[in-house]
Amino acid sequence: MANIEKLGVVGAGQMGNGIAHVAAQSGIKVLLQDVAASALDKAMATIAKNMDRQVQKGTLTQADRDAAIARIARTTDAKAFGECDLVIEAATENEEVKKKIFAALCPVLRKDALLATNTSSIPITRLAAATDRPGRFVGMHFFNPVPMMKLVEVIRGLATEEATVQAVAQLAERMGKTVAFAADYPAFIVNRILVPMINEAVFALQEGVGDVASIDAGMKLGCNHPMGPLELADFVGLDVCLAVMEVMHRGLGDSKYRPAPLLRTYVEAGWLGRKSGKGFYDHGTTPPTPTR
């Protein structure tokens, strides 16, 4: 089984900086890469802010915080991953983008290095086939926000070797996560169940069954969910929800996974939720107000 002591992370966005955070806090050296130096600066500021909050709460000492920050190196050059034991791709949920990353990444990795993707829905077998190491390729799906969410889905592709699965599962546990092993079906376990619920809530909104506030209140108070489905969609990102539904619709061929037209309309308008400032809620107000 591979001993993972140096981890590479591709993409310094919300997921990438969260993975770097929990890995560094667990004693692992991290190399965080992004094409934009500004994205790396923003990621380190986010990590520092989140760790400072942990120090204030007493869940992390100042010394451990400083040591964790010191374990994270930054680069804009993918060639720097040559010494990593495992590289996790945490780029945007777009299959072609991910394949281009793997094409650039594979030639610089050690032959024995493992490669993982944080995809939330794209088939692992298909992504693995675009690399030079399908046996050492695996899905390692973290949840947002990574420092708070306890689950990691580990997804085995058709060619993934058992040693690869066990190595990344062991790493996830070292990061303080609980592992759920998922089969390589579109959207895996959590999003296979969660995102169609969000999509159905958008259909209900589109058809006038209820407004945003009523739909979210119904699920929070009627089903004891901590967050309503439309509120959750804004948190996840409407573009991500749409991408997952499209993967499921194509991959499973069932009309029940057809994305709600209203969801597509919001994405086309650039109303992506919290990250764009507006989605099913306007996040420029306190508290956020429904947009429909």
Q: Among the options 26, 50, 118, 153, which is catalytic? A: 153
Q: Among the options 17, 141, 199, 231, which is catalytic? A: 141
Average pLDDT on 129-151 reads 97
**Is residue 141 annotated as part of the catalytic site, yes or no?**
yes
**Is residue 153 annotated as part of the catalytic site, yes or no?**
yes
Task: Give residue 93's pLDDT.
Answer: 87
SS3 category, 183: coil
Average pLDDT on 253-267 reads 97
| pLDDT at 18 exceeding the cut of 70 | yes
Cα(101)–Cα(186) distance, integer angstroms:
21
Task: Give the pLDDT confidence of 202-216 residue by residue, as tens digits.
Answer: 999 999 999 999 999
Residue 1 pLDDT grade (very low, low, confident, very high; cuts 50, 70, 90): low
Domains of the chain: 6-182 (3.40.50.720), 190-290 (1.10.1040.10)
Under 8 Å between Cβ of 228 and 197: no
| pLDDT at 259 exceeding the cut of 90 | yes
Task: Give residue 3's pLDDT.
Answer: 85
Backbone angles phi, psi at 162, to 5 degrees: -60, -40
Cα(113)–Cα(2) distance, integer angstroms:
8
Q: Among the options 26, 50, 118, 120, which is catalytic? A: 120
Q: What share of the chain is helix, strand, coil (3-state, %, to 5)?
A: 50, 15, 35
Mean pLDDT of the chain: 96
Take residue 106 and report the two structure tokens written for it.
């594979």
Query: Per the omega criterion (within 30 degrees of 0), is the bond before 145 cis?
Result: yes
Cα(175)–Cα(235) distance, integer angstroms:
24
Task: Give residue 261's pLDDT.
Answer: 98
Task: Give the pLDDT confidence of 56-77 residue by residue, as tens digits.
Answer: 999 999 999 999 999 999 999 9
Cα(9)–Cα(62) distance, integer angstroms:
24
Task: Give residue 140's pLDDT.
Answer: 98
Listed residue (37, 40, 38) closest to 9, CA to CA: 40
Task: Give residue 2's pLDDT.
Answer: 64
Instruction: Measure the CA dihedral 195/119/283/17, to 10°.
Output: 150
Average pLDDT on 183-201 reads 96
